[in-house]
Amino acid sequence: MKNPIKNMTLRLKAFSKSMSGTVSVEAMIMLPILLWLIAAMAVFLDVFRTKSAMDKAAFTISDALSRETNAITDDYITNTRVLFEELANLEDGSGSLRLTVIEWDILNNSYAVEWSQTRGDAFNPLDTANLSQITTFLPDISLDETLILVETHYRYEPLYDIGPIMSGRNDEGVAEANEEASALGTETQDAYAWDLDFGTSDMQTFVFTRPRYSSQLVYESG
């Protein structure tokens, strides 16, 4: 009579050394993971493509405004938003824009808003009262200088829903970020930072420059 323990040991050793398998079973196990990785890679690349296009569009608009010598009109600002969407390859009406001219107030020894105009739903016009909260992002300027601040916003929707594993935000975190950002006149999640959240995200740019050929970029209403 054979020893059952020895027989079991021999079978386990043979099983551990076996290289045989069924391809269809292995494919069923690995295929969902492989498809998820492909979708995640596509979303990852699209996130950075969109953000990079937004940055380039904002710098282009900022450079164009810095060269203007005529007054900026309402139509000009509206068309600037359209240009931003075209340059960043966004859907019509999906982008938001805020243009602000900032100067140095010698009486209060602080920055002051000369004028601020918005297009889209993401921003409210800046004023001197809430400007103080973003001064750490602004460079030093002299008494006779002004800054042109260009801010853009886009609500990014991912190509595929790759699940909460790629997102570090929750509903409470979004609510807190919105509450903090509202002080700056915007409903975005994070006013001047952008993280690697691969779910629905608020992408925003913050670009400033100085006028090149005139002392100030003038706004003419109406």
- Pick from 146, 111, 135: which is nearest to 184 by CA? 135
**Whether pLDDT at 100 is above 60:** yes
pLDDT score at 170: 47
Check residues 82 and 9 and name the one with the higher pLDDT. Answer: 82
Q: Which residue has the higher pLDDT, 160 or 81?
A: 81
DSSP calls for the chain: ---HHHHHHHHHHHHHH-----HHHHHHHHHHHHHHHHHHHHHHHHHHHHHHHHHHHHHHHHHHHHT--SPB-HHHHHHHHHHHHHHTT--TT-EEEEEEEEEEETTTTEEEEEEEEEESSSB----HHHHGGGGGGS----TT-EEEEEEEEEEE--SS---GGG----HHHHHHHHHHHGGGTB-SS-SS------SSEEEEEEEEE--SSSS---B---
The tens digit of pLDDT for each residue in 162-217 reads: 665 444 444 444 445 445 544 444 444 344 334 445 567 889 999 999 999 888 89
What's the pLDDT score for residue 192? Answer: 39
Q: Which residue has the higher pLDDT, 80 or 201?
A: 80
Summary mean pLDDT of the chain? 81
Question: Both tokens of residue 15?
Answer: 């099983």
**C-beta separation of 128 from 100 below 8 A:** no
| Segments making up each domain of the chain, as ranges | 30-161+199-220
| pLDDT given for residue 171 in this prediction | 47
**Res 182: pLDDT:** 47
